[in-house]
Structure 1
Amino acid sequence: MSDLSAIDHGREAGFGDYVQLLKPRVMSLVVFTAMVGLIVAPVPVHPFVAFTAILFIALGGGASGALNMWYDADIDRVMRRTASRPIPAGRVGAGEALALGLALSGISCAMLGLAANWFAGGFLAFTIFFYVVVYTIWLKRRTPQNIVIGGAAGAFPPMIGWAVATGGISVESILMFALIFMWTPPHFWALALFMKDDYSNAGVPMLTVTHGRRATRKHILSYTILLAPFAFALALSSVGGPVVLAAAVVLNALFILGAVRIARRDDAAAEADRYRAEKAFFRFSLAYLFLHFGALLVEHSLTTFGLGGW
């Protein structure tokens, strides 16, 4: 990590800058998938406990974001997508971000343990460690497998939500994890395709940098195809049902179709239409995950009234 002492602190940080440190967009996905994991679990949770647990899981996700921004401030300054973040833009000091991230990490894990159970609290602590140490510090700058292995951090939240309710792990929570884990590489590789030289300029060995865009397109297609069986397995599990199965059929067909379109393109075609297909695939990948987990919620609601499930 490069020296951050040269950052210009000409403007005093506002509340929104500290919120941005927590990566609210990423946090929304963490909160939603953790909430689904908690709700569809077979053990009912008191509404106040559930709300409190989700709040502290969100804080844990935000802590991970702040620590990630602290460590990555040097490469964030180089990348157009991240140059306006609070630390590289000079609105928040690196030390402030580090202190905030560490404080929220300790508070969120301890309070989740007290509010729910210590297995869930420990699981949240492990997730923060995995994202910050394993992914951000160890993998991100060393291997093109960074997002493949490191993606596990973003896949843990539904397992944490499940653990809040049950105090443990099950096949169903592992399948929710697997769905996000397999979804993560094609989602981020699609972003890397149209971010052009951002990752190479920052020295991040993303697959587009180490193997080229053509190989990246093939990898996107491969992972998208491998993702589908996990979606169907989740649909056929105890938390699935006809609604989840229908969502899996439609969403995976569209996702694979988008990956095929990308795989058939070359750089000239992508440049000609300003990476329209790649951007569309990236946007759909977000909808893909939210709709899958939304289908789990709908199925659970129908099952509660004896109308869903297998």
Structure 2
Amino acid sequence: MSDSNTSAFTNPSTFILQGIPGLETSYTWISIPFCTMFIIAILGNFTIMFIVKTEPSLHEPMYYFLCMLAVTDLVLCTSTIPKTLTIFWFNAREINFNACLAQMYFIHSFSAMESGILVAMALDRYVAICVPLRHSTILTNRVVAKIGLAVGLRSGILALPYPLLTRQWPYCRTNIIPHSYCEHIAVVNLACADTRLNSYYGLSELFSVIGVDVIFIIVSYTQILRAIFRLPTKEARLKTFGTCGSHLCAISALYIPDFFSSLTHRFGHDVPLSFLILFANVYLLVPPMLHPIVYGMRTKQIRDRLFLLFTHKER
């Protein structure tokens, strides 16, 4: 591993990921929950996709969107956590410059894609509760496929400026990234140039994509709540609202940490760097881990199919 990281250069062939500065002596202990959550996320999301694929009764828009969410979660956690674990276990800190930009692109693209899928799931809940008799005619398989394609294209296109802008800057001070993965701002801060354009684009993308998605979800749930409150009995209201529980948990797991992480990285100058980096890693791990658990526990069809799967194997 090269240590000549402070010599002058403009196009580094590699960056050096520092990991979590200040917590080097705790890497072994930190790696245990990280590796555990990563394994749960991988197994859980693959299990969700397998159950939906093999159970014909789950071939509905809600579960198609859930599979899209599972794929997104798998890409998000596998694009960062394996490299982070190699830093913890083997001190393998080097990352190719192009690989760093690719990692940056995947993080931003699939984070935005996850948000878009949650909007699609909010649309599914709105149609199922507000116009249930037209659900099968509105959200056909063709429409679901078009929504998935639109979400993917939007996310992929809007994430392109991150690596393209980052690539154009000269890096003449150091190639040591004080992070465990190629986080956008952490990389851009190494450039010897005025990189405010990157910061402005990051904020505009955050509020125009995530912000618009949140507004759409709020409008959807406003209409959903209005429909629920029109139901005649308390039991009917609770049962109907219960069908939204998993989706609301997924929304909370994504948006609250997302806004906190993005804003503290830009404005949290008094927050310890080690906490910011640790939180940034946990943020990319917790939603992929929680989504299959939440949907598996709260969705009766998936829970029953999972039970049958394991009891059949035991026989």
TM class by shorter-chain length? 0.3 to 0.5
Higher relative contact order (CA 8 A, sep 6+): 2
Q: Is the radius of gyration larger for structure 1 or structure 2? A: 2
TM-score (norm 1): 0.35
